[in-house]
Structures are given as C-alpha cells and as structure tokens.
Amino acid sequence: MEKSYTPEDVAEKIGLKKTTVWKYIRNGKIIANKFGTHYRITQEQLDDFLAASSTVQQIAGTQLNERSEIQ
C-alpha cells in the first residue's frame, strides 16, 4: 500500500502553510483523493507536485537570468 498524507502532513513535510496546501488542492496544483470528508495525498501525487514546482522554478530562474543579462 502506498504511503499517503493528510494536507496538514504535506504542509509540514514541504514547509508550506496549511492554508497554502488547501489552496493548491482547490486549484488542482496538488491532486488529492477525497474519502468522505477526509483528503489524502499519495507519495506519487506529492512527488508529481514537487517535480512540477521544481520545473516552474527552474524556468522562472532562467527567465530572470536572461532579463538581468539584457539590462
């Protein structure tokens, strides 16, 4: 069985506020499974979110570097 986390666990694990994790779930940035009134995020879903976040940060960093070279 795959490890799963509550949104609160995820917030603590990756250093975000709980409200931010909930916002990401509502916006679809973090995929979560709903069981009744409880949400769970699998390790795979968390890894997907972290990989996507890393890619966005790398792209943003590249764009910032390009802008600073132009000026």
Q: Give the global pTM.
A: 0.76
As a whole number of angstroms, the distance between CA 3 and CA 41 comes to: 9
Segment 25-58, tens digit of pLDDT: 999 999 999 999 999 999 999 999 999 988 666 6
Domain boundaries, the chain: 4-70
Q: What is the CATH number of domain 4-70?
A: 1.10.1660
Give just the sign of the alpha carbon dihedral 5, 6, 12, 17. positive
